[in-house]
Every structure is written in C-alpha cells, then in structure tokens.
Amino acid sequence: MTIQSLGFHHLALQARDVERVSAFYREVLGLTEARRFHRDDGSLRSVWLSLGAGEQAGFLAVEHLAEGGQGTLGLSMIALRIDPASRAGVLAELARRGVKLEKQTGWTLYVRDPEGTLVGLSHHPFDAPP
C-alpha cells in the first residue's frame, strides 16, 4: 500500500502562552477559533484555529509546551495564503497593529508571532497588482 497525501491537514505549534499566541493568529491574522482543549485540571492545553472554510482547509493547533519545557517551541515557519489583491491592505494592517515586517519577497510577507515563529503571508504563485 502506498500512502497518498490528500492535502494539508494541520500544523501543531508549541507555545509557552497558548492564549497569547492564539490571540495573535485570531486578532492579527484573522484565523477563526474552532475548538479549545483543556487538561483534566481545567488548564488550557490547546486552541485549534481554522485555516479556511470547510474541514479540508486544515487548522493550526496552538499547543502548550510540554511540562518542564520538553519539546521544541514553535516551527521554522508557517505559511498562510493571502489574496494578491489584498497585499497592500495586509501590509497596512500589520503596520497599524505594530507588527514588524521581517522581510518580503514578490509573493510573501514575513512577520513573527509573539514567541518568534516566522509566519509567511503568501500569494505565490500569483503576482500582486501594481
């Protein structure tokens, strides 16, 4: 049997402060909260954020760093798709919110979330209008 990927499912992002990091993705980048998971003691374990409409769109799971700091914080990069026509508006909104632009290419804007994970906002392979 050959395993065939059917597309993107989800990304798991470990964070020290799940509430703060998930708020960044909701409030700054416009993701919608889908679910919250709590531990038996009631503390927040993870927040799932939808990456688009429908179950096939996938989600970002912001998970609490394992007890004792075990595991790896963040990811090397998370890339989210944006509409090329919205690029200028995205740049303006990031500036309005005080989110520093790390770098940009012809297709992608790069910012960092509150714990330093690099986030790409990309419209590759489509060029933005002039």
- Tell me the pLDDT tens digit for each residue of 47-67: 999 988 766 678 898 999 876
pLDDT at residue 75 in the model? 72
Q: Which residues are CB-contacts of 68 (< 8 A; sequence separation ≥ 6)? A: none
- Parts of the chain with a pLDDT under 70: 1-7, 54-56, 67-71, 76
pLDDT at residue 19 in the model? 96
Query: Hey, what domains does the chain have and what are their CATH numbers?
Result: 10-122 (3.10.180.10)
pLDDT at residue 72 in the model? 72
Report the distance separating Cα 86 and Cα 61, nearest Å: 25
Residue 77's identity, in one-letter code, is: M
* Of 82, 18, 69, nearest in space to 45 by CA: 18
Q: Give the predicted TM-score (pTM) of the model.
A: 0.75
Indicate the SS3 state at residue 90.
Answer: helix
pLDDT at residue 71 in the model? 66
Indicate the SS3 state at residue 38.
Answer: strand
